[in-house]
């Protein structure tokens, strides 16, 4: 029946039926962490921006629900117990264009899976920033400096959630804003990170 096919979950990696992330694809994920510098900031990611992970991130950005389900399971693998997630902010223009807030949606799905995790959506972009695509690392930093702030004071430790970390300038700015608002320790969880980590 077509109706059964529509409601049967499909793996975001290998397209096999039965779950949004099959055991084989799940066990092939290699979680790794690295440090951004000046200031030091730890980033944990599930892989590089390539292959099926990239394809799934592209689909999730265009609104595919099954990819949100599968990718939220990948975030789940990386999140320590009782984490407090702060979604990296999306510009209002992008939210309007897409019709939804990508990272906000991913965060909400993670919380549905993990009752010990909470979402603390305190970061906002304070001004219009240029699209980061095509900018050099220095240009990205300049583009974002002072552009993110917390809407209220915070206390304790936080995990910034982002989908793709490239030069790291966005998540650095998120961490800076959280610390300015009172956060203690901050680290980053990202679905994927740039292929070229040598720039760090």
**Residues of the shown chain interacting with Zn ion in the complex, contacts defined by CB under 5 A:** 11, 13-14, 22, 25
Cα–Cα separations (whole angstroms), residue 39 to 22, 135, 175, 182: 37, 21, 10, 16
Q: Between 11 and 193, name the residue whose CB sits nearer to Zn ion.
A: 11
Give least dist CB 11 to Zn ion, A.
Answer: 3
Q: Between 11 and 192, name the residue whose CB sits nearer to Zn ion.
A: 11
Q: Between 14 and 137, name the residue whose CB sits nearer to Zn ion.
A: 14
Give least dist CB 5 to Zn ion, A.
Answer: 17
Give least dist CB 9 to Zn ion, A.
Answer: 11
Give least dist CB 14 to Zn ion, A.
Answer: 3
In which residue are the tokens 């998540």 written? 171
Q: Between 14 and 32, name the residue whose CB sits nearer to Zn ion.
A: 14
Of 125, 126, 187, nearest in space to 156 by CA:
187
CA 122 – CA 41 distance, rounded (Å): 19
CA 114 – CA 124 distance, rounded (Å): 25
């Amino acid at each position: 029946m077509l109706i059964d096919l529509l409601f049967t979950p499909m793996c975001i990696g290998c397209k096999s039926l039965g779950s949004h992330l099959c055991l084989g694809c799940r066990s092939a994920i290699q979680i790794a962490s690295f440090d951004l510098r000046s200031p030091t900031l730890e980033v944990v990611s599930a892989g590089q921006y390539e292959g099926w992970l990239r394809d799934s991130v592209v689909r999730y950005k265009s609104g595919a629900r099954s990819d949100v389900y599968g990718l939220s399971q990948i975030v789940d693998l990386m999140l320590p117990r009782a984490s407090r997630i702060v979604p990296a902010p999306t510009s209002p223009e992008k939210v309007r264009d897409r019709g939804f807030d990508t990272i906000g949606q991913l965060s909400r799905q993670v919380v549905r899976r993990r009752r010990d995790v909470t979402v603390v959506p305190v970061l906002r972009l304070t001004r219009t920033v240029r699209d980061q695509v095509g900018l050099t690392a220095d240009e990205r930093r300049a583009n974002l400096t002072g552009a993110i702030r917390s809407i209220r004071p915070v206390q304790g430790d936080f995990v910034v959630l982002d989908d793709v970390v490239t030069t790291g300038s966005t998540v650095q700015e998120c961490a800076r804003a959280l610390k300015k608002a009172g956060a203690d320790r901050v680290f980053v969880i990202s679905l994927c990170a740039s292929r070229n980590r040598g720039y760090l």
